[in-house]
Structure 1
Amino acid sequence: YSSKNNPAQILIAKLFKMHTNALSRNAKSYVLYYKDVLDILTHPLVEPYAKTNSLVNVINQNNYTFITHQKLMELNPNTSDLFILLFQKWEKGSMAVLETISNLLQTIKSNLNNDNEEEKISKAFVYAIFKTINKLINYYSQHSNIDDIQTLYTIYKQVIELAEVSFEGEPLNGLQIMGVLESRVLDFETVIITSMNEGNLPAGKSQNSFIPYDVKKELGLPTFKEKDAIYTYHFYHLLQRAKNIYLIYNTESEGLDAGEKSRFITQLEVEKQPKHTLTHEIYNAVLPEIAYQPMVIPKSEAVMLRLKEIAENGFSPSALTSYIRNPIDFYFQKILRISEVEEVEENIALNTLGTIIHETLEALYTPFIGKFLSESDILGCFKLLDAEVLKQFKLVYKEGEIKKGRNLLAFEVAKRNVSNFLKFEQESIKNGDAIKILHLEKGCERILEHPSLPFPIKIAGKVDRIEERNGIIRIIDYKTGKVEKTNVTLKSWKGLTEEIKNDKIIQVLAYAYMFENEANDKPIEAGIISFKNLKSGFLPFSFKEGKEETTEINSAILNNYLEQMVLLLNEILDKEKPFEEKIK
């Protein structure tokens, strides 16, 4: 078996990649790329024995993109011998590198157990790579002038191509897997030969040689014909005493192991012997009639208890829209509480950018809660803008790189978005708007009671900003994506909770419902400020009936909204209604 693509060889290849990249970047500070580090730490020959799960979590949680060697050692103070050998600097030349790899392979080998069949196979691969490394050590001891790591890796790749691993099994038990030459003096009752296509058996003109065919023929040197003759002899010897013979070939003319069927099969067909019974069967991969069956999960007692727990703690508007988008997503996120795996954000994600903008605006406006905004207040915010955005980047993105590449662009985008918002606010004040900040990032909740609901349900969520503008209460939700006026305009209450396109309407009306009792009978508007559509300003929810359009959220609007929400909540809480996946 080839040593080329086994776990031990892949680990060594990853090591070469990590260390050569570190040396090419800056040999003095020895900076390691996080993907290279995680590839090593999560490798199956390393992860169970290096005890670095906490280190992997720290790297993912803090967005370490590039890590110096010194920082890596500080992050993992309880280092094992295996960890030290993996991340030991490759600064002392090729011979030192080879000796480090040799020691590493011996350490890995000592971790593997002979009682476990999988580990036994892994140990055989490790030993094969170990022998190859020792060959290179002997070679380099005689040719010490070749001392470049990149050259060493090139030579290693050439040598490993030729390395092979021999496996041993129980010869008197089970299926015996072997090459043609291994079967030379053995007889079997049942023989299965795979890949019986021309070019595989016989191999044909597969050997590359500097000696032309005619010269070989003239001098009596062996050619591919002699090799084919040897394989022909072994093939027929293998068939001589067998009772059941299966010759398997690929009927496809193109693709992996494709081509004409072997001439050996044709010969058996043409020169059919009296005692031979030949049958031909064609097998095709069975394709499923349905490409994908949507998931359907019934509601068990445990699920119903969890739904009641959510109802007591509070259904958030985002949880309700998650159910509308895909009930299976709601099931995974809210019932099973499965969260996304935390990974390093090499480039700032859109949701992270949104968090940074939200946090920046909260920090800038917090001093003005409970008072009317003035132009001088906004000018003060402009002065603090750059420092505050940088501070929020460091808090949210942690150790991530923000001084170059896409992240620098994201940093500038965040500054521009907040700056444009402040300009928009400044213009409103100049035009005479009286703006009083009532709340920022306010947690709201309200108990929804209805005769058709099985029990009272709490609706809870966090509102980005609540203000009083010219005597009207405005409930504002910031969106970093693009939102149009049509996204918050409703023409009919029927089917409100059936389509995900209404998610923003459901969200802002939920905020209005939760804050209604605190509005002191003042008129309420609820809507969105879209940073990608700031020219449209505040986009309030509006109900359009014919030519009439109203933006004020009155009791009639809320009653119609609640009737639709009750239908949705009853569907979620209906034990007979399973969670059915929506195919996107």
Structure 2
Amino acid sequence: MEPFLYLIARKYYQEYNGDLSEIAFIFPNRRAGIFFQKYLAEVAGKPIFSPDIFTINDFFQKLSPYRPADRISMLFILYKEYGKLGHSDESFDDFVFWGDMLLNDFDDVDKYVADARQLFRNIKELKEIDESFDYLTKNQIDAIKQFWSNFNPINESKKKIEFLSIWEILFSLYSNFKERLKEKKLAYEGMIFRDVAEKAMAGNLPDTGYKKIVFIGLNVLSRSEEIVMKKLKDRGIADFYWDDASPYVKDKHNKASYFLSKNRILFPSELEIDITGETGHRQHIETIGIPSAVGQAKQAGEIIENLIRENKIPDVKKAINTAIVLPDEHLLLPVLYSVPGEIDPLNVTMGYTLSNTPVAGLIESIFDLQKHLKMQKGNAAFYHRNVLSLLSHRYIMLSGEKDIFALSNDIRRYNKVFIDAKELEINDLLKKIFVPIYDIRQAAEYLLDILEYMQMNTDPDEKSEASDYTSLSPLEKEFLYHYYITINRLKEVITEYDIPMNVPTFFRLVTKMTGNISIPFRGEPLSGLQIMGVLETRALDFENLIVLSVNEGIFPIRKTANTFIPYNLRKGFGLSTTEHQDSIYAYYFYRMIYRAKNIFLLYDTRTEGTETGEMSRYLYQLKYHYRLPIKEKLITYNISVNDAAPLVVTKTGPIMEKLQRFLEGGDKALSASAINIYINCPLQFYLKSVERIQPDDDVSENIEASTFGSIYHKVMEYIYQRLQGQLVTADILEKIQKDEKSLTRFIETAFAECYYQKKEPSALTGQNFLAGEIIRKYVKKTLTADRKLTPFRYIESERLIEMEHDFGGTKKVRLKAFIDRIDEKDGTVRIIDYKSGIRPGSGANREITFKSIDELFDPEIKNRPKAVMQVFMYAMMYSRLQPGYRIEPGIYYLRSLFENKFNWLIYYKPERISEAVHDFAPFDKEFVSSFNKCLNRIFDQEIPFTQTPHTEICEYCEFASICKR
């Protein structure tokens, strides 16, 4: 296979006897020029003076007196000129988006040498088109007429009127903007191209100093390029070579031929060169569908290994005959990690966009942090989600992993929704990060300070025990450096032009700038496996070609340019349109594959979001239009989910040892809730109570049901603890109900203890305030219910009872109970359990009614009255500690407090008639018997821990992901 550039290098070397010093060669990109020099060296076989090599952009800059301006500076200059035209009331923050769009449009207008005055005219009478646009073709005039006839802002929408008001000033804005740039000897790319083209049209094109200028491998030409190339051709010093040997590129039905047929007529070649090279070689074309982006990278690595085994890459040290092409630059790093180790060196010709680097993720987290900044009592406080996200970043972890973990756990443990900046300043780096930002100059210094610190402090400090640094790689330091110089440049421009903007706009500008900056990878350009983007393939040929992401929307790219100039006007004035883009990418593809022998085209088969998983139109064209023999392969991953096998935990020796800790002499005790969990699901009991597995803590911004209940319990305890041992009357409770100040203090104190987990209470705000008010209503309703029972003697709340219980002759289990409230009336002791959750069941009151004691322990019953089991267990334990008392168990369902006939009693209903349980004693013996049977099942080594048969229980289980229910 003789590459296109090799054929031209050989012909020119032969034609000029090796003396090419007065010839300039112009290429579409730098890479093509480097390969051309390589081929010249191969043809010469000896040292020669290299001719001058330019890209088309470099060549135009050489002929122009202007220096390229950076985009941010141009945005500021454009905004100032826009303000001078009577739009000074629009802020820079609102201007940025469409100002950037105008820069693209002005660039197009100049590259295609369009008449800006005519383009930006407000044409109200269509006859003006006929009088003023005689230099345009009929098709162009028809396109312009169609736009202005359809676009009639009179009595039309506000948007059309706004468009027209801006359109009327565009020519003045365009002209004034260019004048300001010229004063500074600056220009955008299109302005440079137009300057050179206009000089060429005026006959003032500077002498290039070359006897011959050779344009090689170009495709679509702008109007300015056509003008300059024609002028050089008329001087007799220009020569042109078009890589259109591929029959696909010549096919008039293929969009790839859109420009080249015209170019060959306008700019023919002087020398006869058979650019077809070696024809007739058999191509191996393989399409591979893979449901993964990273999977494509891994597959590319496997293809390379196969090519090595088949000797299609004869020298792994010089695999220059092979290229991996990445239409999606995000796959660069996965590909680099997937290339076989024996391939060395690698030559990455594409840059890696700064916005894809880890430091970009860090800066984005910092932006989010500042966006949600809140002032509390004059102090800066940061939102917990942004804080935790930032703390989990690897670069932050390098500043002291141990301390960072401790800080993160502290935020979760104490449920800190907004964290004071002072609490976060645990090391020097975090002291720099957790600082409130109020203006853009402060923002620039803030980011520069952080990046400089990270760049200078990435080596381990051997003297500091707290330091847990791991050195950053040279590549990561390069990322930091490029981010630093980008933000520093933005700071300089902001200072120079002194344009007011808010901090979010500054952050958006940083993101915009870094999105346009690519970090070049250094490598040996003329040896090794080539990894490149689509644009870098222009004019280059490879024997082995692996192209990833050959998906519709990626290759060809689905990207609509943001423009202020409507399609019809673009078409009418000869500017670039979507047809240009379609043609360009079709040419790239068909030219690229023409001389390759082994072609592997990989595409992603996944359908996610807006991605359809559809392979590119080019693959369909190869298969159905050109009917090429293509080997098709579809790689799938077996991700089918079989029914999860039942989980059974056998009580082995180690597990029995853990269970022994609940028995006499152990250090653990069983609670009523733990026993209820066992009855519902033995496996959940094992995970939660035996293995003590706890779900990851997270900050809860809203009061969860369990926390809500704890706060209510605590408020009731505060209210009644002052009355311990006293006779409680209706008057006392009514007075408490009306004491809003004390209730507020109790609620805030309960929040501090149960939710914020701190000693000092504080005023509630937001949703917590609303939750507090709901608790206030529940508390008042509880006191209203209690008033109906007065007078009674309050004994205590939140009573902890621990005892050993004999359940198998020689076996004793340790039990514990937290009784919500104990009071006494007329010699009867009430054991009350508060239930803050929604009462299941309907009017049947299933949770306060039971048919038999066995029902309380039967796991097969769907709506088992587990609350009755719990309060009966409390009654049993209390009766052992305080024998001789009549014990009356009861349940306060908070949701029932608002019913007209609130009832806290438990009812025994063996058949149709139910009776209230005023005394636990008649049920004691039977309860203990069933209770002991349950305990025996827990500690019986032959009975494993199994899953519940009732899957509805699994819906809110913490361990559902383990069980796969």
Above 0.5 in TM-score?
yes
The answer as to 2:835 corresponding to 1:479 is: yes
* Shift, 1:14, TM fit: 2.7
Aligned to 1:527: 890
Contact 2:879–2:885 (Cα < 8 Å) also in 1: no
1:472 and 1:9 map into 2 onto residues whose CA distance is 69
Aligned to 1:544: 909
Q: How far 1:513 moved relative to its partner? A: 1.3
**SS state of the match for residue 834, structure 2?**
strand
2 CA distance for matches of 1:173 and 1:378?
90
Is the Cα contact below 8 Å between 1:465 and 1:476 reproduced in 2? yes
Mapped pair 1:427 → 2:797: no
Q: Give, in whole Å, the separation in 2 of the partners of 1:62 and 1:548.
A: 50
**What's the offset of the Cα at 1:113?**
7.2
1:74-473 alignment to 2 at 5 Å?
A: 75-76=423-424, 79-91=426-438, 93-110=439-456, 122-166=476-520, 178-182=532-536, 185=540, 187=542, 191-203=545-557, 212-213=570-571, 215-216=573-574, 224-237=582-595, 240-242=596-598, 245=600, 247-248=602-603, 250=605, 255-256=610-611, 258-259=613-614, 261-264=616-619, 266-267=621-622, 271=626, 278-290=630-642, 292-293=644-645, 295-311=647-663, 312=666, 313-379=668-734, 381-382=736-737, 383=739, 384-398=742-756, 402-429=763-790, 434-451=791-808, 455-473=811-829
Query: Is contact 1:473–1:519 with CA below 8 Å preserved after alignment?
Result: no
Q: Does 1:65 align with 2:417?
A: yes
Contact persistence 2:570–2:576 (CA under 8 A): no
Comparing 461-470 with 12-21, which one deviates more in the overlay? Answer: 12-21
Q: Quick one: structure 1 residues 179 and 571, their matched pair in 2 at CA, closer, same or farther if it must change by over 3 Å? A: farther
| Equivalent residue letter for 2:592 | H
AA of the residue aligned to 1:42: S
CA drift of 1:309 comes to: 0.4
Q: Secondary structure at the match of 1:4?
A: helix
Quote the Cα distance in structure 2 between the aligned partners of 1:375 and 1:516: 28
Instruction: Give the Cα–Cα distance (whole angstroms) in 2 for the partners of residues 520 and 26 of structure 1.
Output: 55
Residues 110-137 of structure 1 show CA distances to partners (whole Å, capped at 9, x for unaligned) of 4557998995664454344334323313
Q: Secondary structure of the residue that 1:459 maps to in structure 2? A: strand
Deviation at 1:318, TM superposition (A): 0.9
Alignment partners' CA distance in 1, 2:698 and 2:937:
35
**Contact residue 402 and residue 411 of structure 1 kept, 8 A:** no
Q: 1:299 aligns to what SS in structure 2? A: coil
Identify the range of structure 1 (561-570 vs 315-324) with the bigger mean alpha-carbon deviation: 561-570
User: Within 1, Cα distance between the matches of 2:801 and 2:376?
Assistant: 52
537-546 or 259-268, larger mean C-alpha shift: 259-268
Deviations along 1:335-360, one digit per CA (max 9) or x if unpaired, are 22233444444333332232222222
Matches within 5 A, 1:20-39: 20-22=371-373, 29-39=379-389
- The CA deviation string for residues 385-438 of structure 1, in whole angstroms up to 9 with x for no partner, is 443333333333447874432222222222222222222222322xxxx52233
Q: Is the 8 A contact 2:421 2:435 kept in 1?
A: no
Distance in 1 between the 2:733 and 2:562 partners?
78
CA distance in 1, matches of 2:910, 2:709: 34
Alignment check: 8 A CA contact 2:887 2:921 kept: no
- Greater mean alpha carbon deviation, residues 261-270 or residues 10-19: 261-270
Change (3 A) 1:302 1:349: same
3-state SS in 1 of match to 2:904: strand
Flag the 1:215–1:321 CA change in 2: closer, same or farther, 3 A. Answer: same
Deviation at 1:507, TM superposition (A): 0.5
Q: Given that residues 253 and 260 in structure 1 are in contact (C-alpha distance below 8 angstroms), is that contact kept between their aligned partners in structure 2?
A: no
Contact 1:112-1:120 at 8 Å conserved across structures: no
CA contact (8 A) 2:369 2:387 kept: yes
Helix, strand or coil: the match of 1:337? coil
Query: Following the alignment from structure 1 to structure 2, what is the Cα–Cα distance between the partners of residues 330 and 439?
Result: 30
Q: Distance in 2 between matches of 1:29 and 1:361?
A: 34
Query: How far has the Cα of 1:474 moved from its partner?
Result: 1.6
Deviation at 1:87, TM superposition (A): 1.9
Deviates more, 1:48-57 or 1:488-497: 48-57
TM-score (norm 2): 0.52
Please say which of residues 253-262 and 497-506 is displaced more in the overlay. 253-262
Residues 231-263 of structure 1 show CA distances to partners (whole Å, capped at 9, x for unaligned) of 3212334xx233x73544649799515345432
Q: Equivalents in 1 of 2:886, 2:372: separation in Å?
A: 63
Q: Larger C-alpha radius of gyration, 1 or 2?
A: 2
Q: Distance in 2 between matches of 1:252 and 1:396?
A: 46
For 2:398 and 2:864, how far apart are their aligned partners in 1? 46
The gaps in structure 2 that reach 5 residues or longer are 1-351, 461-468, 955-965
For residue 566 of structure 1, the aligned residue among 929, 932, 937 is: 932
Deviation at 1:212, TM superposition (A): 3.1
Partner of 1:490: 850
Compute the displacement of 1:464 (Å): 1.2
- Aligned residue identity for 1:14: S
Question: 2:452, 2:804 → 1: CA distance?
Answer: 65
Structure 1 vs Structure 2 CA RMSD = 4.0
Q: How many residues align?
A: 564
Give the whole-Å Cα distance in 2 for the aligned partners of 1:265 and 1:140.
50
Asked if 1:514 is matched to 2:877, the reply is yes
Whole-angstrom CA distance in 1 between matches of 2:398 and 2:576:
60
What is the deviation of 1:289?
A: 4.3
- Aligned-pair CA distance for 1:28: 6.5
Distance 1:136 1:234 in 2: 39
The structural deviation recorded for 1:487 is 0.4
Contact 2:856–2:864 (CA<8 Å) still a contact in 1?
no
Moved more, 202-211 or 500-509: 202-211
Equivalents in 2 of 1:507, 1:43: separation in Å?
46
Q: CA deviation at 1:104?
A: 1.3
Distance 1:241 1:493, change over 3 A: same
SS of 1:540's partner is coil
- CA distance change for structure 1 residues 287 and 343 in 2, over 3 Å: closer, same or farther? closer
- State the distance in 1 between where 2:714 and 2:552 align: 67
**Matched residue SS, 1:45:** helix
Contact kept, 8 Å, 1:321 with 1:503, in 2: the verdict is: yes
- Residue number in structure 2 paired with 1:16: 367
1:529 maps to a residue whose letter is Y
SS at match of 1:545: coil
Q: Is the 8 A contact 1:128 1:164 kept in 2?
A: no
Q: CA deviation at 1:294?
A: 5.3
SS in 2 for 1:546: coil
The share of aligned pairs that are identical, in percent, is 23
Q: Is the 8 A contact 1:442 1:465 kept in 2?
A: yes
For 2:924 and 2:523, locate their aligned partners in 1 and report how far apart those are by CA, in whole Å. 75
* One-letter amino acid matched to 2:369: M
